[in-house]
Structure 1
Amino acid sequence: MSRAVKPAIRVGIGGWTFEPWRGEFYPEGLVQRRELEYASRRLTSIEVNGTFYGSQKPETFAKWHDETPEDFMFALKGPRFATNRRVLAGAGESVERFLASGVLEFKDKLGPINWQFAASKTFDPDDFEAFLGLLPHELNGRRIRHAVEVRHDSFRVPAFVDLARSYKVAAITAGDSDYPQIADPTTDFVYIRIMGTQENLPHGYTPEALDVWAARAKTFAQGSVPEDLAVIGTPAAATPRDVFLYVISGDKVRNPAAAMALIERLRSG
């Protein structure tokens, strides 16, 4: 569980540097170096995409920590060098290098790490278990939370859910996309990525769709699974869970508005 005694629901977007957000999400004239400061005071989490493509310096993580509010949290994309490979069992060096790159500079603001797999990556139970075994849950006395984003339909089997649960790794739930949906809770937090924003809607989604996602997040946090999402394996124990929900892809220009609308619903409910 996170720092809060009560399960936390955090909502955010992927990254914070996107030119079309300037004048749309960010006020006209806001200097780029203050965009994280601005975004982090309107959202409760951000998923950092840049770590998927390359390494960052410890000083950069520390700077991001200092620019954000005390109760803010970051999720990080694990490096593609660890996940975009034929044999996952050989990813140990990439995983270790990433975890030693300075991510602990986030301190209490370090949220889950999303290990994202290509849509072409199929489920090999033995090799996938070898990968999960490479993910440490503690580093220098600090908890490390892991989530896996699988995008091939071969993962929609109870064996995958059982593996994720046995290694206490979250199976990321995809929403409003063509990726396979796996809504089984497999550890003490839930990680959701929704991808259905539309540019012709001011908040990316209709008010009714936003109500539905806010209700689903609350259901997960309370310990249950929304009845309208796909569960693949044995039902999980009903226990409160932290929730991390990110508005990703879709018509990206609307993602901040959708995230803020969800936060408003969660706070008012």
Structure 2
Amino acid sequence: MNDAISNAPGRIFVGCAGWSLGRERAAAFPGDGTHLQRYARQFNTAEINSSFYRPHRPQTYARWADSVPADFRFSVKIPKLISHEQQLQGSGHALDEFLGQCSELGERLGCLLLQLPPSLGFEPSVAEAFFIQLRERFDGHVVIEPRHESWVRAQPMLVHYCVAQATVDPSRLSNDRQPAGWPGLGYWRLHGAPRIYYSAYDEDFLMRLAVELKAKALSGAPMWCIFDNTASGAATGNALRLIEILAQPPSAREQQG
């Protein structure tokens, strides 16, 4: 996939897991249209998590693509059938079905997200066979969120197959507080802390995050930041505020840092 926008030097994507818009944030999304259409007027990305639980028809992906601007990009979560049930083994048919569906996003398909279960350790032969299968079928951006400590040993393999490792909060592994794996992509998944999926991030956290995203983007790699603290609607507010901070001119502290 040769996507000039997703691969644009240093582009920062900010959005949420899903595009549900709660009443408390309705004023930030004025105008007519579906939730997705209104959401996409404020954000330049969304993570499709529902694909993890169930397949979507190709027509559904095509409709979503038609609902957003040309420079909007989706991240799509690989089905749990592949990651959790098949545990990355014998997944060729399932990959074909999934990619046949989500490829209807066209150029708006920016990234695939592979989240692994905490029980799935790193087995080099299994992992490599899976990445070979995936790369035979898909040449776009891929990010992995492993949740078993043994995956810290996978770094050379991730780099070889151009797979980025997500930066995660709350941290689960000894190496997931900073981008890891392939350096051509940065991907933050922020689940909320201290109460996962519920807690909002405070201003200091968002300020530090903005500085880090800008600094990492100087490498020329695109940076993604997805707020997954959606259970009580905190994600939307955090993502809106981060965009505001990113738009501000560099502060004296940033210039000194």
Residue by residue over 1:106-152, the C-alpha shift from the partner in whole angstroms, topping out at 9 and shown as x without a partner, is 2221111001111111111221111111113665xxx5221111011
Shift of 1:86: 5.6
Contact 2:89 2:126 in 1 (8 A): yes
Distance 2:210 2:193 in 1: 15
Contact 1:205 1:258 in 2 (8 A): yes
Distance 1:39 1:137 in 2: 34
Residue by residue over 1:150-170, the C-alpha shift from the partner in whole angstroms, topping out at 9 and shown as x without a partner, is 01122123xx11110001111
Change (3 A) 1:28 1:188: closer
Give identity over the alignment, percent.
Answer: 25
Distance 1:147 1:74 in 2: 13
1:214 maps to which residue? 210
Shift of 1:263: 1.2
Correspondence for 1:256 among 236, 239, 243: 236
2:245 maps to which residue? 265
Contact 1:135 1:146 in 2 (8 A): no
Contact 1:22 1:28 in 2 (8 A): no
1:56 maps to which residue? 56
Matches within 5 A, 1:1-269: 2-4=3-5, 5-17=8-20, 21-27=21-27, 34-85=34-85, 87-101=87-101, 103-136=102-135, 143-157=139-153, 160-178=154-172, 180-182=174-176, 183-196=179-192, 204-223=200-219, 240-249=220-229, 252-269=232-249
Distance 2:24 2:136 in 1: 39
Residue by residue over 1:209-266, the C-alpha shift from the partner in whole angstroms, topping out at 9 and shown as x without a partner, is 101111111122112xxxxxxxxxxxxxxxx200111011375411011011111111
- Classify the secondary structure of the residue corresponding to 1:111: strand
Shift of 1:78: 0.6
**Structure with the bigger percentage of helix:** 2
Gapped regions of structure 2 (runs ≥ 5)? 250-257
Change (3 A) 1:118 1:252: farther
Q: Residue type of the partner of 2:95?
A: V
- Classify the secondary structure of the residue corresponding to 2:212: helix
1:236 maps to which residue? none
1:228 maps to which residue? none
Distance 1:210 1:174 in 2: 14
Change (3 A) 1:40 1:179: farther
- Classify the secondary structure of the residue corresponding to 1:119: coil
Shift of 1:175: 2.2
Shift of 1:87: 4.9
Distance 2:232 2:150 in 1: 28
Q: Residue type of the partner of 2:244?
A: E
Q: Residue type of the partner of 1:23?
A: R
TM (norm. structure 2) is 0.84
Distance 1:44 1:244 in 2: 10
Shift of 1:95: 1.0
Q: Residue type of the partner of 1:129?
A: E
Shift of 1:31: 10
